[in-house]
Structure 1
Amino acid sequence: MLPWVNWYILIASLLLDLGSCCDYSESTCGARRPGDIVIGVLSPCHAKVETLDKRIQPERFNCTEFDLQSFVRTLAIIHTIDTINDSGFLPGIQLGYVICDTCSDASKAIQSAVHMLSINNTMSIQCDLIERPLVKAIIGARYSEVSIAVARLLGLNMVPQISTTSSVATLDDKIRFPSFLRTIPSDVHQTRALAQLMAHFEWNWVGVVSGDDDYGRVALQSFLKDAQDVHVCAAFHEVLPHYLGHSDSERRIQEVAEQIQSSKAQVVLLILKRELVEKLFEVMIRKGISRTWIASDSWSTSRRLATMKGINMIGDIFGLRFISGQNPGFKQFLKNLTPGPGAVNRFIEEYKDLRFGCSPEIQKHKDCLNSKPAAQCPLPGSLKLKSEFACKLPDPQKANDDFLTHAVDLSMAYSEKVATWSIAHALRALLKCNHSICSGERNLPPWKLLQELKKINFTLDKRQFFFDEYGNFASGYDLINWVRRRDGRYFEVIGEYNVMKSVVEISAASIEWGTPNKTIPESKCSESCPPGTSKKISMIYCCYNCSKCEEGTYTNVSN
């Protein structure tokens, strides 16, 4: 049996051999800009790989479903790199980048990571590990399952990896994932906060639906433990396939919808990615089922969900979000979207084709509108990004508008800004920079940058940032309420979870409940026991029967 390190070298070698027959400049890494020091970015600019379950031989990954939120997060990194370069924060140093698509798949992400480390033939898979790859640090991945896979590979060469969204507690293990860092807290805190939120509103009988990936499995077990500590019980917990193209997805979503409908639990926690929540909500809306929904961080501020048709019929929605903030100049950057001098960006090209390009499908829709009422010409899902100026512009690649500034919650891209500045601060220390020059060696080994990242402690936007012993930011969460309005929902902060104090603080008075009497909904296994009766606890703590007081005893209070 080969040592585990050699297994990863073998895998990387095979991937490089496969890459020799493919043009990865287009199929793997869609954006790049040269620089003195290059930062890698792993981002799911597409939500799925087509026919992943039918692969029987090595072949290109066919990625589909352009992911607008991930695209904007990636653009936030590019904008921050441009800001750092223009600011002179690293005198004489220009940061570059290479951005690769993970397509939300771990195998595709490993391929992309190997490609990053082998750009310009800098990675030689031999007995010795590579010491100085061109890419010195990698920001990503988005999903925990993907980050876990990539972290195993990057840990070989101690290439620092900073995720802005992967929260699974498994990644706290610095023996297994020595080069992994993140600008968010671990799920150890999130599941504790979710359980305390439920206990605050006395919801002790809740349903849980999670994905079958590493994030869903670990978060589910962590939540069940934390819920037990505050006397909250799970009425049921269901699992959905993480892979969007799974043959059982539609059937399982229907089964989960039936379980939610039949259960007494009026509160349901969804530990799922946004695409699965959307499919589940479509069924709920069609069936006319209303519940109180609790969102995990992966979909708690999804604009797409907040504006989906019928979202106001589905019940109250609460969730937790990571730190958010402003990114000055980013809105203007999005309104004038261009790859920039010396840069290539296939993702921007694809977005502009989707937004402004002409196609037979959009022409067919326009012809329908010219001859029939709008109600008879439903807009296909593939055209939801289309501008009213599509098919009217001579060159879609030169077109721009403010669509992105409204379609995505830009404050959620703040973590990308912080991650990029974290690398810049570590580089400033490592390269011995002053106000006029950086005298340190530019072709530095990534492990030296990793050591410096672990020591950073800087202030940005009047906030202090540093990594703890597990490589996490102890930054806490905002508690979000999805407030109804005519055309959907908007997000309102109604409280926070303080990681250091392990306490949920909620401004309940500001919540407008969607129940008929506008009061806090109940979600209990058993009704209250009136005076003259006492609780007879069943095997589950939250469930009991009401028994008449025994002869010679009496209680004049409930429960």
Structure 2
Amino acid sequence: MVKAVVGENGSSLSISLSRIIGPFNIPQVSHFSTCACLSDKQQYPSFFRTVPSDQFQADALAKLVKHFGWNWIGAVRSDSDYGNNGMASFLDAARKEGICVEYSESLSRTQPRSRFQRVADVIRRSTSTVVVAFAAAGDLRLLLEELLLEPSPPRQWIGSEAWVTNTDMLRFSFCAGTIGFGIERSVIPGLRDFLLDLSPSKVAASPVLTEFWEETFNCRLGKSAATDKRLCDGTEDIKTLQIPYTDISQIRITSMVYKAVYAIAHAIHNAVCQKTNSTTQCDKFTRIESNEVLTQLKKVNFSQHGYDVSFDANGDPVARYELVNWQKRESGNIEIVTVGHYDASLPVGQKFRTNRNLTWVNGGTQVPVSVCTNSCSPGTRKVLQKGKPICCYDCIPCPEGEISNVTDSPDCFPCPNEFWPNAERDTCLPKPVEFLSYNEVLGIILAAFSVGGASLAIITAAVFYRNRTSPIVRANNSELSFLLLFSP
């Protein structure tokens, strides 16, 4: 009787569920399963989602790291389908952007504390100042608690959507300045009024609401709670409280559920309704099969309260993210502030944009530096360090007679003829033309020798010419002698 399923939260759970209901052609629309592996229609033919695939997020994170000039980073991931597949996609995208990874560690909340201590020690000892965390909030929380016991040097955290917009994580003040991509916020009309429409009678009818009410107001409803609490007197008003329940300014995952429900509703509507000319006839009592809903889901395309809902051939929506930044206020509290956007549907070069100033680790305003080796200045060349990634190299001065005129040059090259390198060996200068003056001592001496030599040649030639008929001159081959005397 089931026509469609909304869920699950985690990718691992969605993989298991999809393998069970997929053979029955029951469509599954997830609101928070982001593993790129679920886009494989051969394995998961009935899977759809309203949250973007991690493949898009991995590409966006790699471009973000490249944008701020970081090429030496650390990586932490959850040991799950979400973390392993997401980090694999990120590392592949990072390699294409020329980014090197100093370490890549996995963790899971089911692992012993010693594992978290080891990962924390790796972060403390690392030379990279940027850490990319592709992890679930529950896994990362245990790591941050371990780092809280013995703080590491300042680290710039880059977060995935699974934890970077989780308000429970804001208690780790040393992570102020964190940036990452979060799911877009949206407004669900009537949601706040619905949440606040709670009276004691409605609360008492639900065990879940009863527990929530008693914990919130620290009182008990009838005999349902411990006797050490006062009785609720009916004056409790949920509207007067400022708690996460009443704050809908950060609606993100909830909106994904909202989209999933409406997508299924539209698919069912299209399956039971026939449009003829300008009228639509719907038979609400028509029995439809799950495969009909599956077929209609592939065609769903509608707008709901300012946002579009549609699926591509892989069951994925158009990838749009908010760039968020953890900014510390004067009160000392950390807030999640939207500072930019990423839209995968836009042309290359326009996908990523920022519209507000960012704050960095320790509240700084300057972009932190995270490189394995500082750039080689002109006049030197890069030489890779043996056994190290390509981002780690030594800067060797150019040899005599050669220059390099760009930063991080892999080679030096010789200057053209009539040019020679300057002292810094970053440019070629024309060789100066030097000449002797007749006013200088050396010039006078050389000129005197030249004039004397020329005079002797002329005198000798005159003597030979005058005595050209003599036996001695004729015996010396007079023609050759004259030729030698007047030759240059």
| Contact 2:328/2:363 (<8 A) preserved | no
1:285 pairs with 148, 159, 181, which one? 148
**1:337 Cα deviation after fit:** 4.2
Of 296-305 and 191-200, more deviation after overlay is shown by 296-305
Question: Per the alignment, do residues 345 and 166 of structure 1 end up closer, same or farther by CA in structure 2, a change over 3 Å counting?
Answer: farther
1:422 matched to 2:263:
yes
Partner amino acid, structure 2, of 1:319: G
List per-residue Cα deviations over 1:399-437 (Å, max 9, x = no partner).
745430238822442111111111111121112179997
Corresponding residue for residue 528 of structure 1: 375
- 1:519: which partner in 2? 366
1:432 paired to 2:273 = yes
Aligned partner of 1:23 in structure 2 is none
Tell me the TM-score normalized by structure 2.
0.73
1:463 pairs with one of 304, 307, 318: 307
Give the secondary-structure state (helix, strand or coil) at the position aligned to 2:77: strand
Report the secondary structure of 1:226's partner residue: helix
- C-alpha change, 1:149 and 1:338, in structure 2 (3 Å) is farther
CA deviation map 1:90-149 (0-9, x unaligned) = xxxxxxxxxxxxxxxxxxxxxxxxxxxxxxxxxxxxxxxxxxx2x321111111111111
Distance 2:201 2:22 in 1: 32
C-alpha distance 285-532 of structure 1, shift in aligned 2 (>3 A) = same
Matched with 1:322 is 183
461 and 291 in structure 1: CA distance in 2 versus 1, 3 angstrom threshold: same
| Structure-2 separation of matches of 1:502 and 1:278 | 35
Deviations 1:27-86 (A, max 9, x none): xxxxxxxxxxxxxxxxxxxxxxxxxxxxxxxxxxxxxxxxxxxxxxxxxxxxxxxxxxxx
Question: Structure 2: where are the runs of 5+ without partners?
Answer: 409-488
Does the 8 A contact of 2:39 with 2:314 survive in 1?
yes
1: CA distance, partners of 2:306 / 2:160: 27
Between 1:497-506 and 1:544-553, the stretch displaced more is: 497-506
State the partner residue of 1:477: 321
Task: Say which SS state the counterpart of residue 156 (structure 1) adopts.
Answer: helix
Aligned amino acid, residue 513 of structure 1: W
1:223–1:411 Cα change, 3 Å? closer
1:498 equivalent to 2:343? Answer: yes
Q: Distance in 1 between matches of 2:249 and 2:305?
A: 22
8 Å Cα contact 1:278/1:305 also seen in 2: yes
Q: CA deviation at 1:236?
A: 0.3
Deviation at 1:222, TM superposition (A): 0.9
Whole-Å Cα distance in 1 between the matches of residues 164 and 348 of structure 2?
20
Alignment map for 1:241-256 (pairs within 5 Å) = 241=108, 244=109, 246=110, 248-256=111-119
Alignment of 1:41-190 (within 5 A): 133=1, 135-190=2-57
Q: Which residue of 2 aligns with 1:413?
A: 254
Report what 2:90 is aligned to: 223
Q: What is the distance in 1 between the residues matched to 2:309 and 2:398?
A: 58
Whether the aligned pair in 2 keeps the contact of 1:207 and 1:234 (CA below 8 Å) is: yes
Aligned CA-pair RMSD = 3.1
Structure 1 unmatched ranges of 5 or more: 1-132, 367-389
From the superposition, tell whether residues 431 and 407 of structure 1 become closer, same or farther in structure 2 (CA, over 3 Å).
Answer: closer
- The answer as to whether partners of 2:176 and 2:363 remain within 8 angstroms in 1 is no
Aligned to 1:240: 107
Matching residue's letter, 1:488: N
Rounded to whole Å, the distance in 2 between the matches of 1:431 and 1:214 is 37
Matched to 1:355, the amino acid is T
Question: Deviation at 1:178?
Answer: 1.1
- Tell me, in whole angstroms, the C-alpha distance in 2 between the residues paired with 1:328 and 1:399: 22
Higher mean C-alpha deviation, range 433-442 or range 400-409: 433-442
TM-score normalised to the size of structure 1? 0.64
Larger Rg over CA atoms: 2
How far apart, in 1, do the equivalents of 2:198 and 2:311 lie? 33
Letter in 1 for 2:61: L
Change beyond 3 A, Cα 1:529–1:475: closer
Query: Does the 8 Å contact 2:273/2:280 carry over to 1?
Result: no
**Contact 2:176 2:334 survives alignment (8 Å):** no
CA contact (8 A) 1:257 1:280 kept: yes
Identity of aligned residues (%): 30
Inter-partner Cα distance in structure 1 for 2:265 and 2:321:
25
Specify the alignment match of 1:542 in structure 2: 391
Distance (whole Å) between structure 2 residues aligned to residue 195 and residue 141 of structure 1: 27
* TM-superposition CA deviations, 1:5-29 (whole Å, max 9, x none): xxxxxxxxxxxxxxxxxxxxxxxxx
Q: What residue in structure 2 maps to residue 93 of structure 1?
A: none
Count of residue pairs the alignment pairs up? 391
Instruction: Output the CA distance in 1 between the equivalents of 2:160 and 2:200.
Output: 33
SS in 2 for 1:288: coil
Separation in structure 2 between the aligned mates of residue 450 and residue 537 of structure 1, nearest angstrom: 54
Rounded Cα–Cα distance in structure 1 between residues aligned with 2:60 and 2:198? 38
Give, in whole Å, the separation in 2 of the partners of 1:516 and 1:295: 17
Aligned equivalent of 2:485: none
* Aligned partners of 1:326 and 1:411 also within 8 Å: no
Q: Distance in 2 between matches of 1:395 and 1:447?
A: 50
Separation in 2 of the partners of 1:542 and 1:339?
A: 63
Cα deviation for residue 254 of structure 1 reads 1.2
CA distance in 2: counterparts of 1:161 and 1:181, whole angstroms: 6
Once the 2 structures are TM-superposed, how far is the Cα of residue 314 of structure 1 from its aligned partner? 2.9
Read off the aligned partner of 2:369 and give its amino acid letter: E
Per the TM alignment, residue 534 of structure 1 is displaced from its structure 2 partner at its CA by 1.7
Which AA in structure 2 matches 1:419? A
